[in-house]
Amino acid sequence: MHADLVALVQQIAKEKELPLEEVLGAMCDGIRLAYEKQFMRDAGRHQRRRMRPRIVAILDLDARVLKLALEKTVVETPHNPHTEISLEEARKVHPDANIGDKVRVDLPLSEFTRSAMQLARQAMMERIRKVEQRRVYEAFKDKVGTIVTAQVLRKDSYGNLYLSLGKGEALLPRREQVPTENLQKGEQVKVYVYEVREPTGSTEPIVRVSRTHKELLRKLLELHVPEIAKGEVEIKGLVRDPGYRSKVAVAAKDPSIDPVGACIGPQGKRINAIMQELRNERVDIIAWSEDEVEFLIHSLSPARPSVVIMNFDERTATVVVSEDQLSLAIGRQGRNVSLAARLTGWRIDIRTPERLGRLIVPETQSETAIPQPPPQAVAVDEPRVEEAKEGVTSPPLTGAMTVSVPAQAPALAPASEPSEVSGVNESAPSEEQGR
């Protein structure tokens, strides 16, 4: 057979990193379908299955020859010309043939029509896809829940990205892409593997990855912070607004370890490396506390609340901040207070003393006496979210409680607050407001 076909088989085997035998087997499957379409078109489906021919490929790399043949059984009276051959006909090809022997009869490709060969090619490539997908499945089925490095290959008309994993491809659906990112062909990115599907032969990759999943940030923290990887520092809660901002609540099992400082790293190197992986998404590292009041105050970092009024029955909190802290507390498009609400599981209203409209009630006053904000008051209400902070138990309190926050109360655990590193420059509230 023509040397070009030999070269094609070798090329496919090399590109797909498959054994030659696998490619030849796929070719034989395709040729068999083409044979059935062209020479067995009058037979029904059940007849085709019962009379299915066996096609074999013989490859001689030295001579650069590839031959296809029909394998038939020698019988006295053939009933199926596609799988059986008479002794007389068999001995024309193989003089030593006997009844019951298997003989091979040459099958020239020149006998096939163009449409039959097109079908053969489609069937061949489908089988090769299944082999590839099976290999990728075996390699990645145990990597669900991990991060991998991938290279951008192309984008389809729906905005989905196809990524190279080395020996296979992954799909980064549009809904799993960060809105602020514009990944280009050839770029390398870390992605979170959230699904590996069973192979079906479909043209779509079976590995599905994400850049927006909150677990991507968790895995990056484990990768860059040894104390988290070793279990010395625990991530108590994590929320993301992908591409814009995230908040992570951490606690140390050993009181001698500073959990926030461990995550930030010397000169902010650890957290900066994580933010670079997330294309400059701002990451706030928050000191978790069993005290819900303290934790809520920390969650609003870098803002410094003056007074917090908490209703433990309804899990709502009114936070009073000075005018210069308002933009920091709310954040651009309400992101800071939104993430704080999701992290703590509390609905948070931000107020300034002027907008509160009246004096804060004493701590001893009942819940029903909590002053209601006037109609013109600006509030940022965020719904409770299921992914609220993990493992926090409400204290056995009822009604409302008013807490006055000391002026120097820290929003982050370390004494030296790297506010730029955690994602916000406290000295520039106008910048936060304009983000």
Q: Which of 227, 159, 170 is nearest to 195 (CA)?
A: 170
Give the integer Cα–Cα distance in Å for 435 and 429.
10
Give the CATH number for residue 190.
2.40.50.140
Tokens matching residue 286: 């928050």
**Picking from 25-34, 294-303, 336-345, 420-429, which range would have the lowest pLDDT averaged per residue?**
420-429
Domain span holding position 365: 215-434
Q: Which of 193, 212, 231 is the last residue of a domain?
A: 212
Same structural domain for residues 133 and 183? Answer: no
Residues near 63 by Cβ (< 8 Å), separated by ≥ 6?
none
**What pLDDT does 403 receive?**
56
Q: Which of 165, 196, 212 is the last residue of a domain?
A: 212
Same structural domain for residues 115 and 9? Answer: yes
**What pLDDT does 375 receive?**
32
> Quick one: 21 exposed, middle or buried, by C-beta within 10 A (0-12, 13-18, 19+)?
exposed
Residues near 395 by Cβ (< 8 Å), separated by ≥ 6?
291, 292, 312
Specify the amino acid at residue 275.
Answer: M
Q: Over 90: is that where the pLDDT of 386 sits? A: no
C-alpha of 360 from chain center = 47
Q: Over 50: is that where the pLDDT of 254 sits? A: yes
Give the integer Cα–Cα distance in Å for 142 and 193.
10
**What pLDDT does 199 receive?**
85
Same structural domain for residues 88 and 174? Answer: no
Give the integer Cα–Cα distance in Å for 363 and 358.
15
**What pLDDT does 44 receive?**
52
Please tell me the total count of domains within the chain: 3
Residues near 304 by Cβ (< 8 Å), separated by ≥ 6?
321, 322, 325, 405, 407, 409, 411
- The pLDDT mean for the chain works out to 81
Task: Enumerate the β-bridge partners of residue 69.
Answer: 56, 106
Q: Which of 167, 182, 212 is the last residue of a domain?
A: 212
Same structural domain for residues 368 and 261? Answer: yes
Could you read off the pLDDT of 103-147 as tens digits, one per residue?
A: 998 888 787 888 888 888 888 888 888 888 899 999 999 999 999
Task: Enumerate the β-bridge partners of residue 71.
Answer: 54, 104
Q: Which of 429, 198, 232, 233 is nearest to 336 (CA)?
A: 429
**What pLDDT does 400 receive?**
53
**Picking from 51-55, 75-79, 167-171, 424-428, which range would have the lowest pLDDT averaged per residue?**
424-428
Residues near 50 by Cβ (< 8 Å), separated by ≥ 6?
none
Could you read off the pLDDT of 35-82 as tens digits, one per residue?
A: 877 777 655 554 555 567 788 877 777 766 778 888 899 999 998 888
Torsion of CA 228, 233, 238, 243, to 10 degrees: -50
Same structural domain for residues 247 and 102? Answer: no
Same structural domain for residues 329 and 406? Answer: yes
Same structural domain for residues 374 and 298? Answer: yes
Whether the ω angle into residue 205 lies within 30 degrees of 0, i.e. cis, is no
Q: What is the mean pLDDT of residues 196-217?
A: 91
Same structural domain for residues 245 and 125? Answer: no
**What pLDDT does 7 receive?**
81
Same structural domain for residues 204 and 220? Answer: no
Q: Over 50: is that where the pLDDT of 396 sits? A: no
Give the CATH number for residue 69.
3.30.1480.10
Q: What is the mean pLDDT of residues 257-273?
A: 96
Same structural domain for residues 28 and 82? Answer: yes
Same structural domain for residues 194 and 221? Answer: no
Same structural domain for residues 148 and 36? Answer: no
Angle between helices 114-140 and 20-39 (to 10 degrees): 140
Residue that wins the pLDDT comparison between 32 and 177: 177
Q: How many helices (DSSP H) and strands (DSSP E) are in the chain? A: 14, 16
Confidence of residue 345 (pLDDT cuts 50, 70, 90): very high
* 394 close to 292: Cβ distance less than 8 angstroms: yes
Give the integer Cα–Cα distance in Å for 233 and 68.
64
